[in-house]
Amino acid sequence: MEPNSPAEDLPALYRAILDRVADLEAAGQRTEAAQVRSAATAAYSRAWDAKARRQLEALLRRAARPTAAERLLGRGQRRRFGRGGTTDPRPMVAREG
């Protein structure tokens, strides 16, 4: 089984980052959210290659670190993004409501 091409992976990675950015903003981490969003947009707007995939994966790992509020609430567990689409790329965050 061959790994997915960057063109297949990048949209899911970018969406996962934007979902996490929304979580960071909701947690009051607006500066971190803005930095992650800006870097993700820059990587996503360039060539869709292995370098862009590595950059987005690194940004997702950076953004997936639990905030202080999440650590206090026990929401520090995250799923990892797996190749082959077997794992949901969005960080696992308990949602209320």
Q: Structural domain boundaries of the chain?
A: 6-70
Asked whether residue 97 carries a pLDDT value surpassing 60, the answer given is no
Could you report the per-residue pLDDT of 23-72, keeping only the tens digit for each? 999 988 999 999 999 999 999 999 999 999 999 999 999 998 887 777 78
pTM for the structure as a whole? 0.68
pLDDT at 81: 45
Q: How far is it, in rounded angstroms, from Cα 12 to Cα 91?
A: 12
Asked whether residue 93 carries a pLDDT value surpassing 70, the answer given is no
Asked whether residue 2 carries a pLDDT value surpassing 50, the answer given is yes
**Average pLDDT of the segment spanning 6-24:** 93
Nearest Cα to Cα of residue 59 among 15, 27, 29: 15
